[in-house]
Amino acid sequence: MAVGKNKRLSKKGKARNRRRADAFEKKRWFRLKMPKIQGIKVDNYGWICANRTAQGKTVESHLYDRVCTIRCGDLQAEPQPDNNDHLNTTINLKLRIALTEGKQCFLDFYGYELTRDRTCSMMKKWVSLIEAHVDIKTTDNYVFRVFAMALTKKQDGQCKKTSYAKTSQVKRIRNRMIEIMQNELADKGTKEFVGRLLVDKCGDAFKKELSFIFPIKDGGACIRKVKLIKRPGQGTLGDCNKEDKRRIKEVLHAESAMDLNEEEEMN
């Protein structure tokens, strides 16, 4: 190609010399404020960032309905030992950003799940896995779907290799699990509902009641997952004006005398 025919060869790239702006200069940082629930010992947990208000979209709408996954062992006043026997180290708590004021994000309960390593360590061969689920409606019109599981174990003096339960026993255990979940979790407020999950009220009841039907593995009967199905006043995604701000600030994030008394009894 003859010199001078291509005009772009003689021009220097101006875009290459342009300084790229740091993306984090456009962001604001907010502290995550934990709800006052039995089993959560800290007031705040870390920080989260979002783009500043620009082009008609506010920073609050960027943050609204974000879900934070937090290990329950990190919500204790003192570090917990990292072993599978301790319940707090094997639970992932999902919290939703429901309200943003000042430099704080007020969190609301969104879900609960056992960690994958805990779930996989419980699964064994030659036993029966029994699963049950039920929809629980709280007094403040939240609907949660609660999933439970139970694993059988060998009986004392058993010679055979397997520990399978009969179909009739599986049905009885599943029905009893549903009854226990309804008795322990239904007709409660969301705050008390989450508190009972974190102190493992259902797990204790499973251990006591299910062994009369078939021997259950120690720690093998528990709530494995909780999923939010419906919440009152749920608008479109990003519509934070329909959120019940009074419930978030005065009920969920206010520490009442009843909560303090329950915590003292547990200790």
pLDDT single digits (tens) 66-87: 999 999 888 887 766 655 455 5
Asked, for residue 8, whether it belongs to a domain, the answer is no
| CA–CA dist 31, 45 (Å, integer) | 7
Asked, for residue 13, whether it belongs to a domain, the answer is no
Residues 225 and 237 both lie in one domain: no
User: Where residue 170 sits, what CATH number does that domain have?
Assistant: 3.30.479.30
Residue 208's domain spans which residues?
A: 123-231
Residues 170 and 242 both lie in one domain: no
| CA–CA dist 94, 107 (Å, integer) | 10
| CA–CA dist 232, 150 (Å, integer) | 32
Which residues lie closer than 8 Å to 68 by C-beta, 6 or more apart? 32, 48, 94, 95, 96, 97, 107
Residues 35 and 92 both lie in one domain: yes
The token duo for 173 is 């255990």
- pTM score, whole prediction: 0.81
pLDDT single digits (tens) 99-151: 898 899 999 999 999 999 999 999 889 999 999 999 999 998 899 999 999 99
Asked, for residue 18, whether it belongs to a domain, the answer is no
The token duo for 11 is 């021009």
pLDDT single digits (tens) 198-213: 988 898 899 889 999 9
Residues 28 and 49 both lie in one domain: yes
Return the closest-CA partner of residue 46 out of 23, 89, 75.
75
